[in-house]
């Protein structure tokens, strides 16, 4: 028996596991501490009423012989796939039924999609970046190169025509920086991918937070995208499904490499994935209903208000920051030239506030820090008050 020694090339602990570990150690030593968590991007508002009602109805159906459901259809139930198709049509995007695949979330699919690609591919990711993109490729032994995202380019790097890549990861709006590509900028990446014979794996988990009309909700709003983009989306942040688990991936039929990626993904999923539970898919369908859309927009507006509270608080503290406009994340420059983990420890110990060290997202994250807007108004305001006093 031989193990996969590529695991030796990744950090021993996943970023958010390390944060949890440090928090557990601190609270064990200081049980009286009133911790405000703004690190891991978990939501706090409950599921929308329309979603909960749909889950109840579906659960009742599972208890009756005439409406009981067993194994799930290959790529999801008709009702949910058609609801997703309808949602994309609001952006002017027409998808084929068989291009949509229901899953348990974007994170799973972003890792699992790599089953379709040979290890002998060069992977390009922006830095800083969601660590899953890098770790899953290093685990498989692929070469990973980086495109530098920095203040100078607004944390939105553009492709270098002198650099070749086969698989390109983009996240827009971005985690962790909150930056988002415009249509014009995304078109440049699409043209680059087509020229290189590359595929773009586009993580659009935060598209529901977009407020800028120049920022597309889907890459498929842009000409040529269906020939080179696989799009991943999750209901985790859109509709509070972090604990419910449902998302979807779009693999266009027009996307051809040296094989049919749409057919390959269907084959992969039917072999290795048994689908998302009927009750959960009914809940997801309700997200796209008129009432569901109204209710989740109210929740998103609540988190967007939190982002404003964070930005106002950082302005008061004189701290430079990015994001917040099209994203639930605020990306700030650590005050006083502190390192990311240094600021993490100081903020935890002196203010009892938890954030995410930017260093955990890559080399270019050093000296930066991520805060999330997924808390209550009261705790968000309190966190900013504590920060102000700490820096006082």
Domains recognised in the chain with CATH numbers: 12-41+292-391 (3.90.1150.10), 49-288 (3.40.640.10)
pLDDT at 256: 84
Cis preceding linkage at 173, omega within 30: yes
pLDDT at 259: 87
pLDDT at 10: 86
CB atoms within 10 A of CB 171: 26
pLDDT at 40: 76
User: Three-state SS for 21?
Assistant: helix
Tell me which residue of 47, 95, 120, 110 sits closest to 280, measured CA to CA: 47
- CA dihedral in degrees (183, 129, 196, 139; nearest 10)? -150
Burial of 108 (0-12, 13-18, 19+ CB in 10 A): middle
Pairing of strands 143-148, 122-127: parallel
Calculate ∠ Cα 255-149-139, nearest 5°: 60
- What is the separation of C-alpha 60 from the centre of its chain, rounded to a whole number of angstroms? 32
Exposure on the CB side of residue 130, measured as CA atoms within 13 A: 24
Gap between the Cα atoms of 332 and 350, Å rounded: 18
CB atoms within 10 A of CB 315: 12
CB atoms within 10 A of CB 135: 19
pLDDT at 42: 82
pLDDT tens-place values along the chain, 392 residues long:
999 999 999 887 678 788 888 999 999 999 999 999 997 778 999 999 999 999 999 999 999 999 999 998 889 999 999 999 999 999 999 999 999 999 999 999 999 999 999 999 999 999 999 989 999 999 999 999 999 999 999 999 999 999 999 999 999 999 999 999 999 999 999 999 999 999 999 999 999 999 999 999 999 999 999 999 999 999 999 999 999 999 999 999 999 878 899 999 999 999 999 999 999 999 999 999 999 999 999 999 999 999 999 999 999 999 999 999 999 999 999 999 999 999 999 999 999 999 999 999 999 999 999 999 999 999 999 999 999 999 98
pLDDT at 66: 97
pLDDT at 392: 85
Radius of gyration of the chain (CA): 21
Tokens of 221: 């709003």
pLDDT at 299: 97
DSSP at 165: -
* Ramachandran angles phi, psi of 156, nearest 5°: -130, 75
**How many DSSP H helices and E strands does the chain contain?**
12, 13
- What is the separation of C-alpha 183 from the centre of its chain, rounded to a whole number of angstroms? 19
Contact 102, 281 (CB under 8 A): yes
User: Three-state SS for 334?
Assistant: coil
Sequence-separated (6 or more) residues with CB below 8 Å from residue 232: 106, 109, 110, 113, 201, 202, 203, 204, 205, 247, 248, 249, 250
Instruction: Using the structure block, give the residue that is written with the tokens 């070469």.
Output: 143
Tell me which residue of 38, 25, 5 sits closest to 309, measured CA to CA: 38
- What is the separation of C-alpha 360 from the centre of its chain, rounded to a whole number of angstroms? 15
pLDDT at 41: 75
In the chain, the N- to C-terminal Cα span, in Å, equals 58
Mark 265-274 as b/e (b = at least 16 C-beta within 10 Å): bbebbeeebe
Predicted model pTM: 0.95
* Ramachandran angles phi, psi of 13, nearest 5°: -130, 135
Tokens of 193: 């991918």
Tell me which residue of 179, 169, 44 sits closest to 107, measured CA to CA: 169
């Amino acid at each position: 028996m031989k193990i996969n020694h590529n695991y030796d090339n990744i950090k021993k602990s996943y970023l958010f596991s390390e944060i949890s570990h440090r928090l557990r150690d601190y609270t064990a030593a200081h049980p009286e501490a009133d911790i405000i968590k703004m690190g891991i991007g978990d939501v706090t508002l409950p599921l929308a009423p329309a979603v909960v009602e749909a889950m109840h109805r579906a659960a009742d159906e599972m208890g009756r012989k005439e409406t009981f459901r067993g194994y799930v259809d290959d790529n999801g139930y008709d009702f949910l796939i058609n609801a997703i198709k309808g949602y994309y049509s609001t952006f002017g995007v027409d998808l084929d039924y068989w291009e949509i695949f229901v899953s348990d979330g974007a994170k799973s699919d972003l890792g699992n999609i790599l089953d379709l690609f040979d290890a002998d591919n060069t992977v390009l990711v922006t830095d800083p970046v969601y660590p899953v993109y890098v770790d899953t490729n290093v685990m498989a032994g692929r070469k990973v190169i980086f495109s530098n995202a920095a203040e100078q380019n607004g944390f939105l790097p553009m492709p270098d025509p002198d650099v070749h890549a086969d698989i390109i990861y983009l996240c827009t709006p971005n985690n962790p920086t909150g930056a988002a590509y415009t249509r014009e900028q995304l078109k440049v990446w699409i043209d680059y991918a087509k020229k290189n014979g590359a595929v773009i794996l586009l993580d659009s988990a935060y598209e529901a937070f977009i407020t800028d009309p120049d920022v597309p909700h889907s890459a498929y709003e842009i000409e040529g995208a269906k020939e080179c983009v696989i799009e991943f989306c999750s209901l985790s942040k859109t509709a509070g499904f972090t604990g419910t688990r449902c998302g979807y991936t779009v693999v266009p039929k027009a996307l051809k490499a040296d094989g049919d990626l749409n057919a390959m993904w269907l084959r992969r999923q039917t072999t290795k994935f048994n689908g998302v539970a009927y009750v959960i898919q009914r809940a997801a369908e309700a997200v796209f209903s008129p009432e569901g859309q109204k209710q989740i927009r109210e929740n998103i507006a609540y988190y967007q208000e939190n982002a404003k509270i964070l930005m106002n608080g950082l302005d008061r503290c004189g701290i430079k920051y990015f994001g917040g406009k099209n994203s639930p994340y605020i990306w700030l420059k650590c005050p006083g030239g502190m390192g990311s983990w240094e600021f993490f420890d100081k903020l935890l110990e002196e203010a009892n506030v938890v954030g995410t060290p930017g260093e955990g997202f890559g080399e270019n994250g050093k000296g930066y820090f991520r805060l999330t807007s997924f808390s209550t108004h009261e705790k968000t305001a309190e966190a900013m008050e504590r920060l102000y006093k700490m820096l006082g």
